[in-house]
Structure formats: C-alpha cells, structure tokens
Amino acid sequence: MLAPDTPPSPHARVLRGGARGALAGIAGALLGMLDGAAAHAQGRYESALLGGRSALLGGTGVVLGVDGAAPFLNPATIIRIEDRNIAFSSTFFRYAHRTLEAWHQPGPVDSALYGDLRLDHTTVSDHGLDSLPDAMCYFFDWQRGAGDADSRRARVGRQTIAACLGKTEENEFGFDALRFSGESGPRRVSQAQTLRYAWGRFSAGPSWSYRVTDRLAIGASLPVVRTRYTSSLGVASVVEDTSTGSASSATYQAALSGDSWDVLAHLGVTYRLTSVFSAGISVRTPSVHLFDALDASYHDTLATGTASVRTWAGEGEFVAPSPARVAVGASAEWSRLRLELDGFFYLGQRELARITADREEIAIERGAVTSRRQSRLDIVEEAAPIVNVGLGAEVFVTRDLSVVGGVVTDFNALSSLRGPTTAESKLFLERMSGVHAGLGMVSYTQYGDLVFGARFDYAAGQMAAVNAFASPIRLDPIDCREIGATLVLAGRISLRTVEGVAREIGDAVEGSAAAPPERTTPREPMRAPAQED
C-alpha cells in the first residue's frame, strides 16, 4: 500500500517509498497439470494449506510426506508414493472473523483542524466465507529398482517423478464501502472506507526422488515461483462543525499491483534409522529473480475552505524473492500410531519485497497546479530469521481408517509497525503472528486414500489504518486479531488401480471377465517401509 510522506507543505508532500514489492506464488503447469492450494499472510510462511493431509498434521511431512505437499516440504519423500498417482487437495470454504481496534480513529488528531475530537465505537469486526483454490500433483515411477515389486515397495534404485502446482503463501482481506458516523462535541463525522489486498505465492515445477538404499532416499525439485501482490485503499471523510456550519473533508486513495517471477532449487534427504524411527532434512535455496512488473498510484485531498491535492502514478519493478529455508524432521511409526516433529528455519532477508517506481507527481493548491515533477519511489520490506515448529499425529482406528491431527506455529518475519508511517514507506499493512491446528480422518482403500477434516487458525498483531484526522494524512498502527476455520477435502488416486477396474468392467460387459479374486486388505502407504526390516 502506498501512503504520503512528509514534505514541503501538508498536502504537497514529496513521495518517498517504493512501488515494487508484493508477493505471491507461481502459476502454471509443468509437464502438463495442476491447480492451486491455500495459505495466509505476508511474512507468515506456514499459512499454506498444502496437501490436505499434511495441513491437518500440523504442516508436517519432511519425513513422512505422501501427498501434494511432499515436493514443497521435502522432495525426497515422494519416493514413498507408489506407482502412478494423482494427489489433489481442495480446501473449499474458509470462514474468518477479524476484529480491528480503533479502526476509524487510529491515532492522534490535528487539533488545529479538528479540535479535541474523540469518537466512540471505532472498532470494526468483519467476517466472511470464502472459497479457496486446490492443489494437485501427478506422481509416477520413472525407473523401477531391483527387487520383487509385489513384496518390496521400497526397491533400491527406484526413481519417482512428480509434477506439482501449489499456492504456498496467501493473504487476502478487505471490505467495501464500510460506513461510519459519529459525534464528538459540536463535530459530526461521516466516513466511508474500502480496503482490498491480496498476497499470493504460487510454485510449480518438476520433482525427482531416488532410493539409494533400503534406508536412504534423496530428492530434488526445481520450481518456478510467481509472487503477486495487489492492494487498494480508499477513504472519504467529512467533519462538520454543527455550531458554525463549517465543514472539512479529506480523501485518500492508494493502489498497487505487482508481479515477481523467480526460480529456486529444493534438495532433500530421508533416512530410516530403525524400523520405527526415521529422520529427514531439506534445504530450499534463495530464489533467482527472472522478471517482474509493477503499477502504482496515489491521491489525497484536504479541503478546508480551499483544497490541497497531491497525486501521482507510476510503474516500475517489483521484486519478491522466496526466503531460503532449512527444514528438519523426526518421525516414529508403530502399528497404530504415527508421530512427526518438524522444525522450519527461514533465513532473514534484507529484501523480502522491494518496489521501485518512476512516477509523475502533481500538487494542486487553491485550484492551480503548484508543482509537477518526475521522481523515483523506493520501498523495501525486510524479514527477520524465523523458526516455526510443527507436530502431527496419526492414530489408526482400524487398518483402513485413521484420525489425524496436529499444530504448527506461524510467526511473522516482518518488523513491527512502530508509530505513524506512510504508504510510501511500507508495502504491507499487516503484522500478525498465528498458530494453526488441524483435525480430520483418512480412509485408505485399494483405489487411493481420502482425507476429510478442518484446519483452525488464530492470529493476532497489528494493522496500519488510515488516520484521516492528521495532516498530512498518515497510517497509524492498531491492534487486530483473527480466528478462522477451513474445510479440507484431499486425497490420492491410484491410476493403475483405476485402469485395472476399467478393464475389468470392460471385460464384464463383453462377457469375458475372469472370476473375481479373493478380497485383499488394501495396502496402506507409508507403513510398508517400517515392515521391511
């Protein structure tokens, strides 16, 4: 978001800041497939609902991943996925309720213009139900290893390839035409606000895994990452003095749209220590920037007898590199219980997002243009090193049915909002940290597996709100909190099994079907390796 700087005159300020940052994910399809997953917030890296199953297990999967999250958490784990599979994740609906304290009067008032203005009921609560996108991966054996394919799934020399698309970060929030009216002494205030911002990071690309020994597997992926950030904020405020009949008004509009495309490498290893315990580690390299685009605009007006206007528009660069990450995990597998504990360390970045815009600034006083000039806007958002921890558990009720649950921390890497700022010095309006907890069930069949459950979110921190009662207009931090819940439906489909069933149906129609074999117990993935010792 863009905001005013402090310049020569209250409303003929010189913009300083940047039009370049913003983030978001990649798009596309590599090897021809895929769609998107869901997540939440700038500077919060564990917000994505990747894989469905992993999301319900507290975001874990560095050691035991077998769904669409595997290539993003540790590509070495895709070797655990047998044969040809399609993994999908549909998060369907998310309900969220957010409370914004003192939103309509976030900071000190310019007493020369508005006197001792004190408004009541300025806190805002907003809730909504949104539909979210899906994620999808296609897994297939590239090369079978040595060994009996029917008795030894973890064959030495086996290689697995995957093509995946997922949304690894997402933050969306907004309201339209939010109306407010209040009184303070002889002054009557009428205000309307519209706010929309969306941050998303998409990742798509090929992944590969190789089983070196019965215990050791390695993997790598090379995704393209697209980060997209859009924001739009508009405020119109009128203050009337009922004792004199005089009135003043202020308007504020800021908009930004940025795209950044990057590429990175992801390397991973898993090792089975015993028949029960396993460990894994993955390293995500810093991304390499490819290309970008940015458009930004700003306008504010203060009318107190005469009008002062400041406006500009520009275009330029938006760079939002993905942070380097080291993930480590440890797991334990027993006959009816599976546990995994993962830690995620994100390196700090001097540039989590950066914008640079060439713009034309125009200032108007008393109905005449007082200045017109070309200038450059630069804004940089830094990120501190962050450590998050996830814990997941799966309890088998029967061999084919399990209950899964987990929790993961989600700390914000952005610096806190301290005191008043401007939209030309900060890109992101939000600084919230949170925690996510999941609970659901998994059904395993010979055709694949089905995951159903919900993930619950809680986050608290600060947001920047427009203070229309200051001159010049500025952004002041206010406290905010959010609770949310997302319905999750995910799973994997075995294409070989589906093809086999299709052939049997065709044979039955033609009258040449063989006698049905005795029913066998479905082979549940992930448990076979522990039974090979």
Task: Find tokens 């999808």 and name the residue.
Answer: 136
Q: What band does 506 get if pLDDT is binned at 50, 70 and 90?
A: low
- The answer to which of 348-357, 395-404, 422-431 has the lowest mean pLDDT is 422-431
Asked whether residue 23 carries a pLDDT value surpassing 50, the answer given is: no
Asked whether residue 15 carries a pLDDT value surpassing 60, the answer given is: no
Virtual torsion, Cα 37, 153, 219, 276, nearest 10 deg: 90
Q: Which of 444, 459, 435, 448 is nearest to 404 (CA)?
A: 444
CB of 200 closer than 8 Å to CB of 225: no
The pLDDT assigned to 514 comes to 55
CB of 33 closer than 8 Å to CB of 456: no
Q: What band does 149 get if pLDDT is binned at 50, 70 and 90?
A: very low
Total-model pTM: 0.82
Virtual torsion, Cα 313, 475, 349, 431, nearest 10 deg: -130
Question: Residue 348 is encoded by which pair of tokens?
Answer: 């700090």
The pLDDT assigned to 6 comes to 35
Cα 120–Cα 124–Cα 130 angle in degrees, nearest 5: 170
Distance of CA 379 to the CA centre of its chain: 21
**Neighbouring C-beta atoms of residue 152, cutoff 10 Å:** 16
**Neighbouring C-beta atoms of residue 330, cutoff 10 Å:** 16
Question: Residue 309 is encoded by which pair of tokens?
Answer: 């206007």
Go through the domains of the chain in sequence order and give each one's CATH number.
Answer: 53-531 (2.40.160.60)
Q: Tell me the per-residue pLDDT of 434-490, one tens digit each, with 9 for 90 and over.
A: 999 999 999 988 777 889 999 999 999 999 999 999 988 999 999 999 999 999 888
Question: Residue 326 is encoded by which pair of tokens?
Answer: 């080291």
Q: Which of 465, 499, 392, 480 is nearest to 433 (CA)?
A: 480
Question: Residue 178 is encoded by which pair of tokens?
Answer: 């939010």
How far apart (Å, rounded) are the C-alpha atoms in residues 73 and 79?
Answer: 13
Q: Tell me the per-residue pLDDT of 263-307, one tens digit each, with 9 for 90 and over.
A: 999 999 999 999 999 999 999 999 999 999 999 999 999 998 888
Q: What share of the chain is helix, strand, coil (3-state, %, to 5)?
A: 5, 55, 35
**Neighbouring C-beta atoms of residue 395, cutoff 10 Å:** 12
CB of 44 closer than 8 Å to CB of 409: no
- Report which listed range, 9-18, 189-198, 511-520, is most confident: 189-198
How far apart (Å, rounded) are the C-alpha atoms in residues 218 and 157?
Answer: 11
